[in-house]
Amino acid sequence: MSNINHVFSVVGVMSGTSLDGLDLAHILFKKSDDIWSFDLKKFETVTYSRKHLSFLKKTYEGKIDIKSSDIYFGEIISKYIERFAIKNQIKYDLISSHGHTIFHNPGEGFSIQIGSGEVISRKLSKTVVCNFRQHDINLGGQGAPLVPVGDEYLFNKFSSCLNLGGISNISYKIKSKRIAYDISPCNIILNFISNKMGKKYDRYGKNAASGNVNSELLKKLNSIDYCFQSFPKSLSFEYIEKKYFPIINDFDISKRDLLATSSEHIAQQISIVFNKEKLKNSLLTGGGTFNSNLLKRIRNYTETELIIPDNELIEYKEAIVFGFLGLLKYLNLNNCFSSVTGSSKDHSSGDIYKV
């Protein structure tokens, strides 16, 4: 890879658990005096077609074998990266792709992301870094969260970083060590309820804001065992589907009340962390940052300042960071902290497919 003035041109690719679409970001990374900086040049979210959503759901359900799904999704990613690069006249050296998580079960020793790096590399004739989680699990870690390495090097001026995506997760420092973990489900359960209303999501949290909190449901959600586990810990779609969905389905109350109560649960769990760790501020990113009602409920429980960046960073921080993690792997630098995942050591995680 060219290393002129320590500038690296990377395409970061991310497909999140909330199934919003495929995030593509072209980023220039620069290292000067041992300090990393980035410049987000171009970005785009490709909304999944019904066909692609059906494919992902069938893969989750085990109706399509993983190997076939891995190859097929790799072809999908390749197609969209190629379109993205041509449309924006991008010249880049490296693709760093998170792919899409189908199974995440560190307790049983595996985490599977589909979107074959080998296929992408072959089709686009570019070096690809992918499969970031499994190596960490092999070293006894959770394989998640991974974004905190980016928080440490690219966003360290903030007391903490909170991502409100399919899952809410946070990273911050304790005694010079970066730690991070998933706090609670977020858009996964809010979208799950919104889908029952025939909507993809609750825009700005308006339906939740018009509902009433059900104290019994809130108590049950706050009593789920994950809320009391110590870090390192991480959530998976399978766990949420097994533990949270049945509780929500058991309550015969309005969808607006379900949304209001679930939002209250999310806000309370996040605030518990803010208050316990006495965090001065938090940089918010992820689609949930646009949920005005959720932010209002969080502010109701904490004095931690919520810092809202521009829309580009809100939507593409994860793609930026996975681009960065791939670059670190390519340079053989550590991109995974044992203090975050619980692995036996800091390490450089991911698979590389070179042209």
pLDDT digits (tens, 9 = 90+) for 133-191: 999 999 999 998 899 999 999 999 999 999 999 999 999 999 999 999 999 999 999 99
> 74-106: b or e for each residue (b if 16 or more CB lie within 10 Å)?
bebbbeebeebbeeeeeebebbbbbbbbbbbeb
Residues 174 and 128 in one domain: no
Q: What share of the chain is helix, strand, coil (3-state, %, to 5)?
A: 45, 25, 30
Residues 164 and 262 in one domain: yes
Residues 253 and 215 in one domain: yes
Does a structural domain hold residue 330?
Answer: no
Residues 296 and 165 in one domain: yes
Residues 170 and 228 in one domain: yes
pLDDT band at 20 (very low <50, low <70, confident <90, very high): confident
Tell me 229's DSSP state: P
Domain count, the chain: 2
Does a structural domain hold residue 24?
Answer: yes
Backbone angles phi, psi at 39, to 5 degrees: -135, 110
Residues 113 and 183 in one domain: no
Residues 131 and 216 in one domain: no
Instruction: Please provide the average confidence, as pLDDT, over all residues in the chain.
Output: 95
Residues 172 and 215 in one domain: yes
Does a structural domain hold residue 241?
Answer: yes
Does a structural domain hold residue 326?
Answer: no
Residues 136 and 177 in one domain: no
The CATH number assigned to the domain holding 50 equals: 3.30.420.40
Residues 167 and 295 in one domain: yes
Residues 54 and 167 in one domain: no
| Residue pLDDT, tens place only, 178-218 | 999 999 999 999 999 999 999 999 999 999 999 999 999 99
Residues 165 and 212 in one domain: yes
Name the residue range of residue 66's domain: 4-140+347-353
